[in-house]
Amino acid sequence: MKLLIITQKVDENDQLLGFFIDWIRLFSEKFERIIIICLEKGVFELPENVEVISLGKDSGAGKLKILFNFYSLIFARRNDYDAVFAHMNPVWVVLGGPYWRLRGEKVFFWYTHKAVTLKLRLAEKFANTIFTASKESFRLLSPKIIITGHGIDTRLFQPGENLKVKNEKLKILSVGRIAPVKNYETLINAANILKNRGENFSVTMVGEAPLEQDKQYEKKLKLLIADFQLQEYFNFIGKVNHKDLAGYYQSHDIFIHLSKTGSLDKTILEAMACGMKVLSSNDASRGFLPSELIFDQDNSAELADKIRSVIKKYPDPTLREYVIQNHNLDKLLNRISVIINGS
């Protein structure tokens, strides 16, 4: 079978979307030929049966030009694919859905976010099958939904005890884009409590602020850090290539997950796969983490208490095993490929 994949970006150096390169490589083993249409492309090395075509955002194309390119491509290459796999963005399912339905081509849609928009409701109508990581990750009722778990490369994200320096300060880590939905104020307030208690620690923030409102949010966070005189405790790393993230998980002690997205985030699973101690306030985490690793959203005092409590315990190897069994990349892509090929 020949597969058309539509995604936002193909770039192995992208922190948020670099993981998709591994998806493409595994897909290439399951399908005769793959054409990828993306908004923008960067650095990648892919098998010969994979062709990547940009819609032009990386070269400055406007929305109308991108839309024209999209329709031109799905029509001009109509004999080069038998099915469509759309990754995350429902707008492409909405725009291409009527054409693909007329041609009898099945549309498979991957989506993981709590937001339920008009575009998502329309995309659900045109998709034949919807893949999502957890029940919290797709919040429309639909018989088309298949819950698959996330795809974590547990060979890349694995424990690396040799990277940790013993008998030094507690090293706290957060990974993700800098945005209000990530709720970093709670971590900063908890850090202030720990400082006032005399704890020896540092906080590493990995991630960039992609949008202008996110950059303003980052400035507010740094002002709050300055108000508490916590500058020496916090280190903002910025963007990190996806393939380099494992080193951060492996060299830190505890991962703090504060996202208010409501859906299951890959970052906490990556941390668990690396053998880290984790704490989370995310709704989806309550389904698989024990209560001692969960804290209430916006409750900085509880977070500070749980950091002190958890760090005295040994890492729990069952957390990595949970990722291997339920969110393994090879298992995920094999399951999706079997469903698409059998359609």
Per-position pLDDT tens, the chain of length 343: 999 999 999 999 898 899 999 999 999 999 999 999 999 999 999 999 999 999 999 999 999 999 999 999 999 999 999 999 999 999 999 999 999 999 999 999 999 988 899 999 999 999 999 999 988 889 999 999 999 999 999 999 999 865 555 557 899 999 999 999 999 999 999 999 999 999 999 999 999 998 999 999 999 999 999 999 999 999 999 999 988 999 999 999 999 999 877 678 899 999 999 999 999 998 889 889 999 999 998 999 999 999 999 988 888 999 999 999 999 999 999 999 999 999 7
Provide CB contacts within 8 A for 157, sequence distance 6+.
245, 246, 249, 270, 273, 274, 323
Strand partners, 87: 110
Spatial distance between the Cα atoms of 252 and 250, rounded to a whole number of angstroms: 6
Strands 83-87 and 2-10: parallel
Question: How would DSSP label each residue in 3-15?
Answer: EEEEEEEE-TT-T
- Look up residue 246 and give its two tokens: 């494992």
Burial 115-125 (b: 16+ CB within 10 A, else e): eeeebbebbbe
- Count of C-beta atoms within a 10 Å radius of residue 98: 10
CA 150, chain centre distance (Å): 9
pLDDT of residue 124: 97
State the pTM of this model: 0.91
Q: What are the backbone dihedrals phi and psi of residue 206, each rounded to the nearest 5 degrees, phi first?
A: -100, 125
pLDDT of residue 117: 95
pLDDT of residue 260: 78
Q: What are the backbone dihedrals phi and psi of residue 5, each rounded to the nearest 5 degrees, phi first?
A: -110, 135
Q: What is the DSSP letter of 163?
A: G
Q: Where are the beta strands (DSSP E) in the chain?
A: 2-10, 33-41, 50-54, 83-87, 106-110, 129-132, 145-147, 170-175, 201-206, 234-238, 254-257, 277-280
Structural domains of the chain in order of their starting residue, each with its CATH number? 2-151+328-341 (3.40.50.2000), 161-325 (3.40.50.2000)
Q: Which run of H or E residues covers position 306?
A: helix 300-310
- Look up residue 279 and give its two tokens: 């704490």
Burial of 317 (0-12, 13-18, 19+ CB in 10 A): exposed
Are 4 and 84 in contact by the 8 Å Cβ rule? The answer is yes
Are 267 and 173 in contact by the 8 Å Cβ rule? The answer is no
pLDDT of residue 231: 97
pLDDT of residue 162: 55
Contacts 24+ apart (CB under 8 A), 19-27: 19/151, 19/153, 19/242, 19/266, 20/87, 21/46, 21/242, 22/151, 22/153, 22/329, 23/87, 23/151, 23/329, 23/333, 24/50, 26/329, 26/330, 26/333, 26/334, 26/337, 27/3, 27/85, 27/333, 27/337
